Structure formats: structure tokens, C-alpha cells
A = this chain, B = another copy of it.
């Protein structure tokens, strides 16, 4: 892999890595309803606020969310709506895997 190709896939991987965590996926999903403050996200996730804050900074660093401070609270918003198209495909992969498992077990029974 030459340097240019590597840079291309490194950049893409950075964004996907930012999404590669259950809490961060949950955050993205919640943000599809509209902006949310850290406190609300923290409550729903059920982790330490510092942990959630770090998750948010990873998403922000990847350019997936943006933040706005209003008073003492910080509100996060999805920057790029197309992230949603991900979930449809992910679900397709999961369904396909489930289907394969059923087929496998069926084949073994005969």
C-alpha cells in the first residue's frame, strides 16, 4: 500500500473507528432526534459523565457531531445526517448473519 493510498484509508478508518463503540452508536442514534446535552446523554447511557464526554470528543474529532455551549450546558448535534444510512446496512448484515445461522442449523438436522 503506497503512502497516498494509506493516507486515504487511514482517514476513512478514523471516522469509522469513531463509530465503533456501542455507546457512541447509541449517542449518534439519540442525536437523530435532535440536539441533546451531555447530561441527558449521560443519564441514558448510564456511565460516568467524564466517559461520555470523552466519547463525544471522539465523535467531534471525527467531524460527526458539533457542539454548542448554552449557559452551563453543552448541546451536541449530528453534523452529517448520512450517518443514518449506516444503520440500515448494519441491520442488513445482522439479518443476513441470523439467516445463515438458521440455514446452517437446518442443514445439520437432516
Contacts and interface: CB of A to CB of B under 8 A. Distances in A.
A90 to B, nearest CB: 5
A91 B85 CA distance: 13
Contacts of A56: none
A39 interface: no
B9 A25 contact: yes
B63 A93 contact: yes
A71 interface: no
Contact of A17 (B11, B20, B82, B89): B20
A15 interface: yes
Contact of A1 (B11, B17, B20, B46): B46
Interface in A65-110: 79-80, 82-83, 85-94, 96-97, 100
